[in-house]
Structure 1
Amino acid sequence: MFGISPLGWVHTLSSLPAIPLAIYMFARYGRIVPRSKSGVVYFISMLIGAITVFAIAHQSTSYGIGAATILLLLAGYGIGRISRFGRAGKYLETIFLSLTAFLLMLPTVSEILRRVPNGHPIVTDLNSPILLGSQAILFVILIVGLTAQIIHLRRQGRLPKFDSTAKM
């Protein structure tokens, strides 16, 4: 179905929970919160998805997105363990993890447009205006979302020093 291999289904189904979890955390906390139950499931789902992409990818871009996602995910979840970043740690964590959500949505939207409806996809060409437009919209959402997150963090003038054990 949809031309997806069994390993492709493992990749897709393991990555899928990250989408509603990211939406939930953005709506509830204004950012992805790594030290929450949702954040832990998001991490696991993203990591499995990013690792399995190397076994199913057909384009070099996919390898780059997978590698960047793993690096940003590890950096976003690991920065809390490094106390010398102080308040900047919260900003870096927010930026890194927001970028992982963007890197999840970019191929997700592209693959949906290139596979649905089954047998007669909306997009058949990687240079399709619909595909390029959807990618541009995702980029605008990233820029607006990151800007809003940074403004929100800055307005929290009482932002305590970054604490890796604190939950939001």
Structure 2
Amino acid sequence: MGLSHLGIFHTVIGVAAIIAAIISLIRRGKIDLSQLSGKIYFYGTLVTSLTALGLSSVKGVNPGHILALLIVILISVAYYLYAKKTGNNRSRFIENFFLTFSFFLSLIPTVNETFNRIPVGHPLANGPQDPLIGKTLLVLFVLFVIGSILQFRKQKSINKVV
């Protein structure tokens, strides 16, 4: 597979963050920063995005760097809303959406790298333009849209109760 030490660290932390997000989404219907799984997602994603800036086979700034910076901005704003705008209000809609959107964006390079590396010697895909990657990302995008709608509806009902 040929991963550097930074690449291995990046991958391990990134996998932990993705697992934490999935656990949080299944248990709570959102990435909940008040729970351990939400905290692991936040800090793991922050570290993974920042280490991604040091990983590139191309010189200079590339789309992967821009994506990593966008993810850092999304989770930082979500954390700010969580910490400073407490209570069940409109801020929760943005917080939930930004965290879920950051998770979806994190899956783009994850799917690409995984499908182009595994299984070793006979990867599932032959580059980022492979139709399998496109179809997988389309399914994940549809799940993201459906999940976002469900989160919005759930938060709307929570806000009405309080």
TM-score by length of 2: 0.90
Which piece of structure 1 moves more, 148-157 or 86-95? 148-157
Q: CA–CA distance in 2 between the matches of 1:111 and 1:68?
A: 19
Question: How many residues were matched structurally?
Answer: 159
Q: CA–CA distance in 2 between the matches of 1:104 and 1:76?
A: 15
- Counterpart position of 2:64: 62
Check whether the contact 2:33–2:82 (CA below 8 A) recurs between aligned residues. Answer: no
Q: Spell out the pairing of 1:1-168 with structure 2 (5 A cutoff).
A: 2-58=1-57, 60-83=62-85, 87-160=89-162
Q: CA deviation at 1:158?
A: 3.3
CA RMSD of aligned residues (A): 1.8
Which piece of structure 1 moves more, 34-43 or 128-137? 34-43
Q: CA deviation at 1:18?
A: 1.0
Check whether the contact 1:114–1:121 (CA below 8 A) recurs between aligned residues. Answer: yes
- Counterpart position of 1:163: none
Consecutive unaligned residues of structure 2, counting only runs of 5 or more, are: none
Q: CA–CA distance in 1 between the matches of 2:24 and 2:86?
A: 26
Q: CA–CA distance in 2 between the matches of 1:8 and 1:52?
A: 8
Check whether the contact 1:87–1:159 (CA below 8 A) recurs between aligned residues. Answer: no
Q: CA deviation at 1:82?
A: 3.7
Q: CA deviation at 1:83?
A: 3.5
Check whether the contact 1:91–1:150 (CA below 8 A) recurs between aligned residues. Answer: yes
Letter in 1 for 2:134: L
> Larger relative CO (CA 8 A, sep 6+): 1 or 2?
1
**Which consecutive segments of 4 or more residues in structure 1 shift more than 3 A?**
81-86, 157-160
**Structure 2 CA distance for partners of 1:55 and 1:38, relative to 1, 3 Å:** same
Q: CA deviation at 1:157?
A: 4.8
Letter in 1 for 2:135: G
Q: CA deviation at 1:128?
A: 1.3
Letter in 1 for 2:98: F
- Counterpart position of 1:164: none
Letter in 2 for 1:158: K
- Counterpart position of 1:165: none
